[in-house]
Amino acid sequence: MDLTALCPKEEKVWVTYYDKNAEPLFFLTGPVNTSSTLTAQSGRFTLYSLVSGAKGALKAKKLGQGGNPSELEAQYHVKEKM
């Protein structure tokens, strides 16, 4: 599944998190054209959850932003929900 359409234009998808049935649950974004080191320094990683919208269409719900993906994963219990 291509999550690019759900991602803000100034961000790109870095990581997608799936459940046991290979359905996407979350995705992590960072700024376009920026290395992961610069992204971390700027605190610009953003974690989104995928939710069903009208007529079953997937929508992205912004959960939080930070400089460390591991901290975002822990804060929003990503591994427990996978």
Q: Mean pLDDT throughout 15-24?
A: 93
Is the pLDDT assigned to residue 51 strictly greater than 80? Answer: yes
Cα–Cα nearest to 14, from 22, 51, 34: 34
Burial of 31 from C-beta contacts in 10 A (0-12 / 13-18 / 19+) = middle
Is the pLDDT assigned to residue 30 strictly greater than 90? Answer: no
DSSP 22: S
Q: Each residue of 64-76: pLDDT tens digit?
A: 998 888 999 999 9
Domain chopping of the chain, boundaries: 4-72
CB 8 within 8 A of CB 29: yes
- Return the biggest CA–CA distance within the chain: 39
User: Average pLDDT, whole number, for the chain?
Assistant: 87
- pLDDT score recorded for residue 73: 95
- pLDDT score recorded for residue 16: 95
Q: Mean pLDDT throughout 46-58?
A: 88
Distance CA 36, CA 70 (A): 13
